[in-house]
């Protein structure tokens, strides 16, 4: 995004230009430090590093996506410090947000790649179709080609949203476009996965703050997610958790129990197997999160969550088993049982027929 005003050289200058006090900035850094699970002393280190940092060049590519991720990131309640920080990165290419289009837009991307070779951050939302390049193109360039070309000069890649991180909805069975995640294509660059449908804005800001402070990516889990945000399940940090432990459950949506804050496990909540920060950071400026508004977690930050069984079935319910299935199996068992019984009885009958009676005389003869 191009600003018409004079662009600040560093983040610190930019904050000053916008009238952000040092106190406010330190508060932000302290919150970020806590969120990233860093020692408290790191807050001042982070403040210094971010203030001095050159505005980070960011190229944002959107592939097979619904723009929900961009909506989420841009809709952090302004004017929060987070949005200011976002303004103060140099978002050099983002085809949803930028005014330019067509050749001019592609030129901006080429220029950013050239000027910041090896230094820019590449943010990707959306999955990449491998089935046919024509499924999704930008300026006539296939998603695959654009990703590979742009990734070459990137310092690191941030895959935003479940589509970019794990394939998401486009990859759901039967995956008509052959959708894959960024990490399925790019193997030689550090990739930070920020999954969620959409992901939490502050997670994105946190990852960026970490990158600006340390020049490296935060500690990641096995699925490439920052541990500080995805280290615990929704269930473990859920305010309804005590009710689960007491065996108190809502039976239907919006019943008395649900309104009293009882657990939504029986209504299909996937909180126990979903690693995300919703229950702690919450959404809409810390207002609420899905479980708080009465709907179970659907597990949107987990790979292949669309295909992980019905959304409204409790986690302990079978995905597809039915009692009819058991009935059929029992009938097969009965048929096999009859066959075995018939076999056993005929063996018994044959033994009876083959049985030869021995007389006392015959035994006496044998003894002699």
Which residues of this chain interact with other proteins, rule CB under 8 A?
223, 233, 236, 244-247, 249, 265-266, 272-273, 299, 302-305, 307-309, 313-323, 325-334, 336-338, 340-341, 344-345
Question: Taking the CA atoms of the chain, what radius of gyration do you get in angstroms?
Answer: 31
Q: How many CB atoms lie within 10 A of CB 356?
A: 5
> Considering beta carbons, is residue 99 or 324 the nearer one to other proteins?
324
Could you tell me the smallest distance in angstroms from the CB atom of residue 345 to other proteins?
7
Q: Hey, which bits of the chain come out as E strands?
A: 57-62, 90-94, 120-125, 128-129, 137-138, 141-142, 154-160, 179-180, 191-194
To other proteins, the closest distance from the beta carbon of 335 in angstroms equals: 9
* Tokens describing residue 73: 């990131």
Q: How far is the CB of 228 from other proteins (least distance, A)?
A: 16
CB of 97 or CB of 336, closer to other proteins = 336
- 177 vs 301 by CB, closer to other proteins: 301
Quote the CA–CA distance of 276 and 203 in Å, as a whole number: 10
CA 209, CA 34: separation in Å to the nearest integer?
A: 12
Q: How far is the CB of 360 from other proteins (least distance, A)?
A: 24
C-alpha atoms less than 13 angstroms from C-alpha of 210 in its C-beta half-sphere: 24
Tell me how far, at minimum, the Cβ of 325 lies from other proteins, in Å: 6
Nearest approach, Cβ of 123 to other proteins (angstroms)? Answer: 23
Q: How far is C-alpha 205 from the geometric centre of its chain's CA atoms?
A: 17
Among 106, 102, 100, which Cα is nearest to 61's? 106
* 37 vs 340 by CB, closer to other proteins: 340
**Alpha carbon distance 88, 178 (integer Å):** 37
CB-nearer residue toward other proteins: 34 or 223: 223
* Cβ-based nearer residue to other proteins, 148 or 331: 331
* DSSP class of 253: T
């Amino acid at each position: 995004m191009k600003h018409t005003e004079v662009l600040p050289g560093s983040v610190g200058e930019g904050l000053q230009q916008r009238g952000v006090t040092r106190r406010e900035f330190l508060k932000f850094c302290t919150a970020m430090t806590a969120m990233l699970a860093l020692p408290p002393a790191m807050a001042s280190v982070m403040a210094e590093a971010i203030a001095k940092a050159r505005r980070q060049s960011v190229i944002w590519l959107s592939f097979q996506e619904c723009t929900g991720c961009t909506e989420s990131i841009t809709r952090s309640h302004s004017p929060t410090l987070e949005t200011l920080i976002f303004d103060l990165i140099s978002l050099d290419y983002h085809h949803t947000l930028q005014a330019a289009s067509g050749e001019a837009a592609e030129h901006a991307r080429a220029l950013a790649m050239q000027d910041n070779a090896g230094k820019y951050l590449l943010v990707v939302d959306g999955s990449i179709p491998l089935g046919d390049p024509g499924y999704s193109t930008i300026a006539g360039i296939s998603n695959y080609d654009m990703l590979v070309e742009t990734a070459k000069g990137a310092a690191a890649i941030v895959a935003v949203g479940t589509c970019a991180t794990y394939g998401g909805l486009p990859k759901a069975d039967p995956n008509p476009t052959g959708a894959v995640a960024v990490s399925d294509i790019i193997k030689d660059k550090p990739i930070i996965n920020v999954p969620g449908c959409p992901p939490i804005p502050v997670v994105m800001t946190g990852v960026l703050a970490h990158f600006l402070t340390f020049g490296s990516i935060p500690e990641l889990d096995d699925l490439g997610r920052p541990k500080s945000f995805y280290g615990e399940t929704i269930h473990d940090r859920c305010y309804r958790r005590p009710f689960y432990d007491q065996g108190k459950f809502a039976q239907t949506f919006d019943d008395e129990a649900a309104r009293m804050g009882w657990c939504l496990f029986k209504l299909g909540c996937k909180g126990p197997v979903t690693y995300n920060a919703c229950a702690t950071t919450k959404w809409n400026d810390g207002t609420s999160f899905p479980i708080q508004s009465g709907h179970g977690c659907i597990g949107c930050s987990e790979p292949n969550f669309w295909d992980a069984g019905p959304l409204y079935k409790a986690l302990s319910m079978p995905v597809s088993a039915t009692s009819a299935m058991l009935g059929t199996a029992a009938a097969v068992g009965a048929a096999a049982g009859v066959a075995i019984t018939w076999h056993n009885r005929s063996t018994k009958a044959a033994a009876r027929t083959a049985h030869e009676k021995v007389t006392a005389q015959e035994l006496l003869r044998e003894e002699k």
